[in-house]
A and B are shown apart, each in its own frame.
Chain A
Amino acid sequence: MITAPVRTTPPIADGRAAPPALLVGSGLRKRFGRTEALRGIDFELQPGELVAVMGRSGSGKSTLLHCLAGIVPPDEGTVMFEGRSVGDLGEGERSRMRRTSFGFVFQFGQLVPELPAIENVALPLLLNGIARSRALEIAAPWFPRLGLAGLERRRPGEMSGGQAQRVAVARALVTRPAVVFADEPTGSLDSLAGEQVMELLTAAAQEQGASIVLVTHEARVAAYAHREVIVRDGRVSGPAAE
């Protein structure tokens, strides 16, 4: 069971004018064959904010996340990150943006099975051109921090699901990203492991000032968020209930 988390205060809550949104999706539409996954969604994410995107299976919440992260281009609408249109970026620039400004934690499949945990964490740094020894140096402190001390040389297949997800969290945060996209990060874990992962993810993200877009269908997981967005049939159907 995931216990109800203590909500932290959203970054801007003192009545001052809100700073410009970090990530904005406007009028997002996406179709896969005959299926209309997104039917004109608007979305905003403030710096340091944790937003839970909820909805039933097939509602379009993962597609929204993929569009916001620049993984899948929307058929219509725009995604602006830090004032720049993601759609105007080339594939190479979008990849660079994902590598330097975004982090990802998915349900499964995001770790490279061939690499030991520490190299998985160092991977974004290596792709950024940082020397291997330096990249491993930066990655190493994340292991004790996330309760993974001693597991640095283990491969994903040699770890439990919770441990593998914590490695994914470390990898998502190692580049100090502005936004972490988490798609059902606890979906394959038992409640205790899920709770650990969520606490580590939110704490570490908050410590670094990173925003989080969290896709989930579990209310308890969504409870970690500052606000919730309900997606139904490709549309935002409910306000973000505080």
Chain B
Amino acid sequence: MIWLGLRLALAGGRGSVVGIALTALAVALGTAILLFALSFGPALQDRSERAAWRAPSVFLDMGEAHDGVLMEVVEDRYLDEALLRVLVAPLSAAAPVPPGVPRLPARGEAFVSPALAARIAAVPADQLANRIGTVVGTIGDEALRSPGELVAIIGADVESLRADGASPLAEFATEPRDPTIPPIMVLVIVLAVAGALAPVAVFVATATRLSAARREQRLAALRLVGATPRQVTGLAVVEALASTVTGTLVGVALFFLALPLVALVPLDEATWFPEAIRPPLVQAIALLVAVPMVGAVAAIATLRRVVVTPLGVQRRTTPPPPGPLRLVPLAASVAILLGTLTFARREATDGLGLLVLGAAFAGVVGGIALAGPWLTALVGRALHRLGGGPAALLASRRLTDDPRGSFGSIAGVVMAVFVASAFFTFADYARGQSPEITGSIRPGQVVADLRSGSGPSGATLVERLLALPGVRAVLPIGAAETLVEGMPVRVWVVSCEGLIQQLDLASSTCGGGPIHPVRATVAPGRYELMPERRHALDEVTPFELVVGQDLVGGVTVSEELGGTYLPDLLIDPAAFGGLGDLPLSRLYVSTDGTQAVAERVRTAIAAEFPASWSRRTEERVAAEPIYQEFGRVVHLGLIGTLLLAGCSLAVAVTTWMLERRRQFALLRSAGMPASGIRDVVMLQAAAPLVCVAFFSALLGVGVSQAILRLVDAAVVPLPDASLAVTLAASVGGALAVVALMLPAIERLTRPDSIRLE
């Protein structure tokens, strides 16, 4: 029986082989996507474990840290990449050693990641190496989040680290802290997998239909000869397994082939170690068994009609038209989705909640597939009423007579439109979550937060920076705090005019006098000015500030600044000589705008203040890069989804034309021109495609808006015109695919191609 099944599956000529190959391809894509989905959790866990050592959750008190190590993690940047400088200083010879290095680096030495070593070797030392120290070795992969991560473990001395407020550790952590990916993003990723599988499923179904008519014909013929239902089912299962088992195996191969590329897709500012992207063995085996089984069950389900009677193909009755009850699963899935988010919001992002939401989202997609034929029949009836001419008549009759088949052709694009609409909304939300933190700083600047109680005096650093070629000005700022009527007030000791110049605030002006209230009001009197404490253990000496009536000026700050970066009070140091000794807290360095100069400035600052971090204006660093990365992944996924949908449509239209070539040829022999046939094909695809896709887009936007509002309780903006443009391009592309198939009509439906047997 297995031989006969395989013989039947493979002996059908080019059509059968193409059908099997396309089905196998679709199954392979689905398998690969599911394998990657299964690997996501373990890969995330692996990444967290590799980085656990530098994110300890337990610190010691300084008094009990005799054999520990001091560690300070500085999140710096080099060009547009994150650069992690981990400053360490052993408290004794028995101090613990982090993973990936043979020993702790001595003061001035550093172990660096391979990627950082490559960058250090590529540029002059004053742009990067000088903020790292002498490289004495590389860090092993076991201590890196990703292969391309820029990390340096830098040896420092205990005193300076202690002054910088570094925390002592008894040992480096091995257990990762909770993952840093926001739950909403995990939820969206789960939904993305569910959504991505829909076009794959449609592709499988479309590819299966490619040879369905002939398969039904031959199986009915077998039934006529006396094959039992069980034998026919067995043959169909063997045939289905031929494509699904092949597809599953190809899917595994595809998974491994695509692994290096997928490993390059960044998430949370890090790519992946390919070897870490592995699905759990038991789940992977279960998946590889389940996929062919689902294929076999689907084959049995589609054969029901032939199994019932050996005359199944010859005496096929028209099934009853689809009714509005088909909307019920869609409505139920939407209700489950929104109900879960409304009534169990807290549980919605744990394992079970995500499973329920993922299933409900898949249910919505499946609901569209079920409701699609009903909508298609509606479109057919409308076309019948509105359209004139033979093409509209034929197309509308065809849509109402076989709405399932007609919708099947466009289902891939409709699903893709739903997924695109939903994820465009998610992507817009993601962009809204990542404001750019340097929005109001003038271009060509480096803003440094010195974060240090150690290091040279401000004046020395300013001189060194001004001596660098390409540096135009340096604005040093001392930060402090005081109490006004019992309320804490943040103070910057800085030239108001200088600050307004450095910031991109053309409409802001400083008033008269050396004291400029921004948000606070200051009455004349005596105040105690406390230099900004970086750490709880910092010892600070208060400065005295006497404010007279004549000293208080004003400042007009334009709205665009929003007060985000300015303190409550600005004090001009020139008016208070004593305040010049206030420790430097922040620097605004104007440069010629080149990256090399900016990196020199950063390097010079970090060399003097190792715990400092700085940002270039041009970096336009997102506060939450993960959201932007998510947006990129979504767009990549959408391109893949639409491509797949296009493939489905091409296959479906080809199948449809091949199945009806005889009828079309007869119409042509009766005098209908080929252009009329083309109009029928185009109308039958275009009318339901445009209408159902519009419905699908509305549903996608509505569902995603509801999810985001319920989970985040945030005001989520409606997608902008780019969604409309993308959707129009998608539908237009789909119609172009149909149009590409039209020239074949001339050849396929030639009247002399009619075969009576």
Contacts and interface: CB of A to CB of B under 8 A. Distances in A.
Given A91-B229, A102-B226, A119 B7 contact: yes
> Range of interface residues on chain A?
20 to 34
A38 B404 CA distance: 33
Contact of B223 (A72, A95, A111, A164): A95
A114 B220 CA distance: 13
Contacts of A97: 226
A113 B213 CA distance: 12
B4 A100 contact: no
B512 interface: no
B11 interface: yes
Contacts of B487: none
Interface stretch (A50-58, A122-130, A228-236): A122-130
Contacts of B281: none
A95 B11 contact: no
Mostly, the B contact residues are: helix
A164 B755 CA distance: 14
B228 A96 contact: yes
For the residues of A in contact with B, the DSSP-based class is helix
B227 A114 contact: no
Interface in B209-225: 214, 217-218, 220-225
Contact of B229 (A95, A109, A110, A171): A95
A220 to B, nearest CB: 21
A164 B757 contact: yes
Interface residues of B, number: 30
A127 B222 contact: yes
B226 A96 contact: yes
A95 B228 contact: yes
Contacts of B457: none
A151 interface: no
A92 B228 contact: yes
Interface in A150-177: 161, 164, 171
A139 B231 CA distance: 21
Contacts of B3: 132
Nearest to B4: A126
Most buried by A among B12, B218, B313, B757: B757
Contacts of B388: none
Interface centre among A66, A72, A112 (most CB of B within 10 A): A112
B228 A66 contact: no
Contact of B12 (A66, A114, A126, A171): A114
B314 interface: yes
Contacts of A119: 7
B311 A114 contact: no
A161 B757 contact: yes
A123 B222 contact: yes
A142 interface: no
B221 A109 contact: yes
A112 B227 contact: no
B23 interface: no
A104 B225 contact: yes
Contact of A113 (B217, B229, B231): B217
B11 A114 contact: yes
A98 interface: yes
A188 interface: yes
B13 interface: yes
A96 B231 CA distance: 11
A115 interface: yes
B243 to A, nearest CB: 15
B158 interface: no
Contacts, number: 79
A149 B4 CA distance: 24
B222 A112 contact: yes
A109 B226 contact: no
Contacts of B226: 95-100, 102, 124, 127
Given A119-B7, A127-B222, A72 B228 contact: no
Given A104-B225, A123-B225, A114 B757 contact: no
- Please indicate which of the listed interface residues A97, A102, A114, A119 has the most CB atoms of chain B within 10 Å of its own CB: A114
Name the residue in A91, A98, A127 with the highest tally of chain B Cβ atoms < 10 Å from its Cβ. A127
A40 B7 CA distance: 44
Interface string B1-20: 00110011001110010000
Contacts of A126: 4
A108 B221 contact: no
A3 to B, nearest CB: 23
Contacts of B220: 109
Given A91-B228, A127-B227, A109 B314 contact: yes
A139 to B, nearest CB: 13
A194 B311 CA distance: 24
Contacts of A99: 225-227
A81 interface: no
A115 B7 contact: yes
B218 A114 contact: yes
A71 interface: yes
B160 interface: no
Given A72-B309, A91-B228, A115-B11, A110 B756 contact: no
A41 B715 CA distance: 75
B99 interface: no
Nearest to B226: A99
A92 B217 contact: no
A71 B218 contact: no
A104 B221 CA distance: 10
Contacts of B8: 112, 114-115
A70 B139 CA distance: 78
A167 B4 CA distance: 19
A71 B217 CA distance: 16
Contacts of A161: 757
Scoring B221, B231, B756 by chain A CB atoms within 10 A of each residue's CB, the highest score goes to B221
Contacts of A114: 7-8, 11-13, 16, 214, 218
A106 B225 contact: no
Contacts of A104: 224-225
Interface string B288-331: 00000000000000000000011101100000000000000000
A91 B231 CA distance: 12
Given A72-B309, A113-B217, A114-B8, A106 B13 contact: no
B526 interface: no
Contacts of B218: 112-114
A100 B756 CA distance: 31
A-B CB proximity, top 10 nearest: A99-B226, A98-B226, A95-B228, A114-B11, A114-B12, A112-B218, A92-B228, A161-B757, A127-B227, A112-B221
Interface of B: 3-4, 7-8, 11-13, 16, 214, 217-218, 220-231, 309-311, 313-314, 756-757
Interface of A: 66, 71-72, 91-92, 95-100, 102, 104, 106, 108-115, 119, 123-124, 126-127, 132, 161, 164, 171, 188
Given A92-B230, A95-B228, 5 more contacts: A71-B309, A97-B226, A100-B226, A127-B225, A127-B226
10 contacts: A91-B228, A92-B230, A95-B223, A96-B228, A106-B224, A110-B225, A112-B8, A114-B12, A114-B13, A114-B214
